[in-house]
Amino acid sequence: MFTGIISALGAVRRIDPIGAGRDMRLVIAAPPAFLADPPVALGASIACSGCCLTVVESGPDWFAVDASAETLAHTKLGGWREGSPVNLERSLRMGDELGGHIVSGHVDGVGEAVSATPENASTRWIFRVPHPLARFIAAKGSIAVDGISLTVNEVQGDTFGVNIIPHTAAVTSLGTTRPGDRINIEIDMLARYVARLADSREAEAGTP
């Protein structure tokens, strides 16, 4: 589990094919302090732009993870290149501050950055999500965009808006995101289960 509070900004250092398949090993550069406190262990989970991946190798300023063809096909990781920015978060430990919201690290779909408009001291971003995910997004609810916990301002059809303050832009990949870029989307876990419960009740009500 994660909180959606990004603790470091890394970058893809190298991408290596694994075997004869389409799986890839991603080597990600990261600040030494991120990996050292506490020391990252093999098998540890790290959220990489919202995608929970397992550490298979590490060094003082890098770590490596394996991404399956399935993961590459259904997240923005399939479009990563050397130098691509990566939002990093270590897994939640008992007693840690829950500064964002509960994030599983399981990407629900790939959306698109639509527009960015300066608004007072922040920037109003509009993102588009795959149609099946739109029903799970509500104004003033939480959502994870590339692993970043954000509060939804408004929802219109398949799009939603958020405000990004300068600090968030400076310490995450949103600082270099541009309209048209792909984004990993994870809907709020609570919204998922509330919708599931509502569907179940509707199905029961419709049963003769």
14-28 pLDDT, tens digit each: 999 997 778 999 999
Residues of the chain with CATH 2.40.30.20: 8-90, 109-196
Q: Is the per-residue pLDDT at 207 higher than 70?
A: no
What does the pLDDT average to over 52-79?
97
Pick the more confident residue, 97 or 123. Answer: 123
Query: Which pLDDT score, from 0 to 100, does residue 92 have?
Result: 84
CB atoms < 10 A from the CB of 135, how many? 13
Cβ–Cβ under 8 Å, residues 129 and 159 = yes
What does the pLDDT average to over 51-76?
97
Global pTM value:
0.91
Q: Is the per-residue pLDDT at 167 higher than 90?
A: yes
Edge to edge, the sheet with strand 122-128 lists 148-151, 142-145, 182-187, 109-119, 122-128, 159-164, 154-156
Query: Which pLDDT score, from 0 to 100, does residue 85 have?
Result: 98
d(CA 173, CA 6): 10
What does the pLDDT average to over 123-138?
95
Query: Which pLDDT score, from 0 to 100, does residue 202 have?
Result: 60
Residue 205's pLDDT band, with cuts at 50, 70 and 90, is low
Residue 97's pLDDT band, with cuts at 50, 70 and 90, is confident
Looking at residue 201, its amino acid is R
Q: Is the per-residue pLDDT at 198 higher than 80?
A: no
Pick the CATH number of 8-90 from 2.60.40.1180, 3.10.20.30, 2.40.30.20, 2.30.42.10: 2.40.30.20
DSSP, res 40: P
d(CA 15, CA 26): 5
What does the pLDDT average to over 113-127?
97
Q: Is the per-residue pLDDT at 165 higher than 80?
A: yes
Quick one: CA dihedral 129, 9, 93, 65, positive or negative? Answer: positive
Query: Which pLDDT score, from 0 to 100, does residue 196 have?
Result: 67
Q: Is 191 left (phi over 0), alpha (psi -120 to 50) or beta?
A: alpha
What does the pLDDT average to over 80-103?
89
Closest CA to 177 of 200, 201, 146, 202: 146
CATH architecture designation of domain 109-196: Beta Barrel (2.40)
State what percent of residues in the chain have pLDDT above 90.
81
